Chains A and B, each alone.
Chain A
Amino acid sequence: MDKFTVLSAVAAPLPEENIDTDKIIPARFLKTTKRTGLGVHAFDSMRYREDGSENPDFVLNQEPYRKAEILITYDNLGCGSSREHAPWALLDFGIRCVIAPSFADIFHNNCFKNGILPIVLPHDVCTQLMEDARMGGNARLTIDLPRQVVVRPDGTEVPFNVDPLRRKLLLEGLDDIGQTLQHEKEITTFEERRSKAQPWIPRIVLD
């Protein structure tokens, strides 16, 4: 996983609520066995017309947003399926930070696991940031994770909260399996204690 420290980039405004994971990546593109290569299908139904050509009205098909690394939306971003293909598709497109007033739980979690920073900011602040983003190529936002602020094009700063453990993992680019395995002794102890207390819990063994 790539580290996330300070990101200064173009932000794309997508002023919609309830953008579901089927919208981010439709199920028919989930047949891959890899994490990469899904960027071309991100937002497929909004991004392409029925004949496969680009829909010029969709923000990510417009300059400078083709190079957007930040996406700003309204409430409940990433609702629906648990598919991690949604953050994989965003990441493969180039998105490293998503900003919304609220996120669906699993998507929120999946973003962190892939080095994408999800930032929760109030609705009216998201509206302001979308207005900044509409100023075009010069309107870069800076996401400063060490200082936990979004720096707007006019230099004003918007503070945000992030879970300390997740912040640490993002800053260091660490996956959490290694960290959990440092507690392997405790896991084993837990298993031994439980198999004594609840010996009836069946093991799944096929004939």
Chain B
Amino acid sequence: MAPRTLFDKIWDSHVVETLPDKTAILYIDRHLVHEVTSPQAFEGLRLSGRRLRHPDATIAVVDHNVPTSDRTQPIEEAESRNQIETLERNVKEFGVPYFPLLSARQGIVHVVGPEQGISLPGMTIVCGDSHTSTHGAMGALAFGIGTSEVEHVMATQTILQKPAKNMKVVVEGQVGPGVTAKDIMLAIIGHIGTAGGTGHVIEFAGSAIRELDMAGRMTICNMSIEAGARAGLVAPDETTFEYVRGRPFAPKGEGFDEAVAYWKTLAADEGAHYDRVVELRAEDITPVLTWGTSPETVIPVTGTVPDPAAEADPGKRAQMQRMLDYMGLEAGQKIAGTPVDVVFIGSCTNSRIEDLRAAAAIAAGRKVAEGVRAMIVPGSGIVKAQAEEEGLDKVFLEAGFEWREAGCSMCLGMNPDRLTPGQRCASTSNRNFEGRQGPGGRTHLLSPAMAAAAAVTGCLTDVRELI
């Protein structure tokens, strides 16, 4: 057999059948369900009289819509409440395992899956959410699907798909101080663009990726979709196996050893073919952030806002100008020192315990600048409890941050956590699209440490000045 990539191996082991036009019926090991993209799928099953084939391969949580404030009170927004109640009726009717709002295990679906050992190496994992790519950090093939496909997976435990192309992004070397997984990934997206990975599955490799803990790898794979890729992957290794060991839904005892033996066979073969390879040097990556309304508008925090006049293509020039107008920035201005109104630390990109520790290290002994609202939204109830055990909540509260309940929150503003028009936000989330965090809101994407630095100085700041 020809040498195969990690993606090829996971793909091959899940093909039930290949149809005449090369479309595969691909078996799905884990289906993660949340309240926003599932109601129409459950309704479809009901209308066609179909059953949900494998409730025991499915897990449901509420995350997108949920309030991150006091949860002992009824949910105020009627439509949000309806969506949550609809999910609760559906999981009961179809027998789907579910972590309800008041469970300690509730949280953002992409934090919960790995945390519970539900997402495992070598698996195929889908969810009606584009950031399903996060689970690729486990060495699993994980991608976002639309609601029609959610229904297809519910009914058949498969999806129809043609194989993706293989892309490898290699980051060799050692990153400097203040440079995190978020900076590495933003640098990659800045380099290849938001359509740079279209049609491909990206495998992240190289010593700088190997060195990352699982949280860092999840941050990287999470934003693969921002590079247009179908999925992101990191080959499972000892870091992965140690992370999985002992998690509630992971294999136990001899089963675990058997699983590890299998997982070790997944890494790409010597000489495996990649359709595209991109290489970056870790030493060249500095703390970065975005200036515009596309995740590819990445500049070093020490840099200046680019000038549309330097862009030759008139369409692109007009789009850059529109971004500057929307963001309230001037061409050529230094990005550091730009005042912020809100700091959001959370989202499926950066809400794990490691992210909160990084933010707390900057916040400790400092105060949130006057006039800045700074929020910490842990990724799950488990993350929140762990942080409280470590005393991080006290660090944040003493510094003047809000310490909130788990959910997607201001990453997409479906719940009451929203920017108001014109507000500028330093955000650890994944998208800076116009209106993403609230109509008229202005988002700068950056790492948790950089977000904390912005909170305590009141402006976009090079975190290296505070460490």
A interface vs B, CB < 8 Å? 15-18, 20, 22-23, 26-28, 30-35, 45, 50, 74-76, 79-84, 87, 102, 104-106, 109-110, 113-114, 163-165, 175-177, 180-181, 183-184, 186-187, 190-191, 194, 198-206
Q: Is B48 in the interface zone, CB < 8 Å from A?
A: yes
**Looking at the complex, which of B19-27, B273-281, B451-459 is the stretch in contact with chain A?**
B19-27
Chain B residue contacts of A205, Cβ below 8 A = 56, 97
A30 to B156, CA, bound (A): 26
Chain A residue contacts of B43, Cβ below 8 A = 33
Are B65 and A204 within 8 A (Cβ)? no
Chain A residue contacts of B147, Cβ below 8 A = 35, 84
Minimum C-beta distance from A144 to chain B (A): 21
Chain B residue contacts of A175, Cβ below 8 A = 148
What are 16 pairs between A and B in contact, CB < 8 Å?
A: A20-B431, A22-B412, A22-B436, A27-B412, A31-B79, A31-B80, A31-B414, A35-B40, A79-B194, A81-B129, A82-B144, A83-B36, A177-B152, A177-B156, A183-B16, A187-B27
Chain B residue contacts of A76, Cβ below 8 A = 194-195, 198, 228
Given A82-B144, A201-B251, the answer on whether A18 and B294 have CB atoms closer than 8 Å is yes
Count of A-B contacts judged by CB separation below 8 Å:
189
Minimum C-beta distance from B16 to chain A (A): 5
A124 to B447, CA, bound (A): 39
Q: Is B176 in the interface zone, CB < 8 Å from A?
A: no
Minimum C-beta distance from A102 to chain B (A): 6
**Looking at the complex, which of B253-261, B301-309, B344-352, B367-375 is the stretch in contact with chain A?**
B253-261
Minimum C-beta distance from B227 to chain A (A): 10
Which residue in chain B gives the minimum CB-CB distance to A203? B56
Q: Is B151 in the interface zone, CB < 8 Å from A?
A: yes
Chain B residue contacts of A18, Cβ below 8 A = 194-195, 294, 319
A60 to B412, CA, bound (A): 25
Given A106-B146, A180-B152, the answer on whether A202 and B431 have CB atoms closer than 8 Å is no
Binary per-residue interface labels of chain B (413-427) against chain A in the complex, 1 for a CB within 8 Å, 0 otherwise: 110000001000000
Are A104 and B434 within 8 A (Cβ)? no
Which residue in chain B gives the minimum CB-CB distance to A107? B146
Are A200 and B259 within 8 A (Cβ)? yes
Are A84 and B194 within 8 A (Cβ)? no
Minimum C-beta distance from A24 to chain B (A): 11
Chain B residue contacts of A201, Cβ below 8 A = 29, 120, 251
Shortest Cβ-Cβ A-B pairs, 5 listed:
A200-B255, A113-B148, A82-B144, A31-B79, A84-B146
Which residue in chain B gives the minimum CB-CB distance to A175? B148
Which residue in chain B gives the minimum CB-CB distance to A163? B21
Which residue in chain A gives the minimum CB-CB distance to B148? A113
Chain A residue contacts of B158, Cβ below 8 A = 180, 187
Minimum C-beta distance from B106 to chain A (A): 13
Are B421 and A200 within 8 A (Cβ)? no
Are B16 and A22 within 8 A (Cβ)? no
Are B39 and A33 within 8 A (Cβ)? yes
Could you say which of B17, B37, B79 contacts A84, with CB atoms under 8 Å apart?
B37
Given A104-B228, A109-B149, the answer on whether A15 and B434 have CB atoms closer than 8 Å is no
Are B262 and A183 within 8 A (Cβ)? no
Are A113 and B57 within 8 A (Cβ)? no
Binary per-residue interface labels of chain B (62-75) against chain A in the complex, 1 for a CB within 8 Å, 0 otherwise: 00110000000000
A186 to B156, CA, bound (A): 11
Minimum C-beta distance from B9 to chain A (A): 14
Q: Which chain B residues numbered 305 to 320 have a C-beta less than 8 Å away from chain A?
A: 315-316, 319
Could you say which of A35, A177, A186 contacts B17, with CB atoms under 8 Å apart?
A186
Minimum C-beta distance from A50 to chain B (A): 7
Which residue in chain B gives the minimum CB-CB distance to A46? B434
Starting from the known contacts A31-B80, A82-B37, A204-B97, 18 additional A-B residue pairs (CB-CB under 8 Å) come to A26-B435, A28-B413, A31-B83, A33-B39, A74-B315, A104-B228, A109-B146, A113-B146, A165-B19, A177-B48, A177-B151, A180-B152, A180-B156, A187-B16, A187-B157, A203-B57, A204-B59, A204-B249
Q: Which chain B residues numbered 40 to 88 have a C-beta less than 8 Å away from chain A?
A: 40, 43, 48, 50, 56-59, 64-65, 77, 79-80, 82-83, 86
Could you say which of B50, B120, B195 contacts A79, with CB atoms under 8 Å apart?
B195
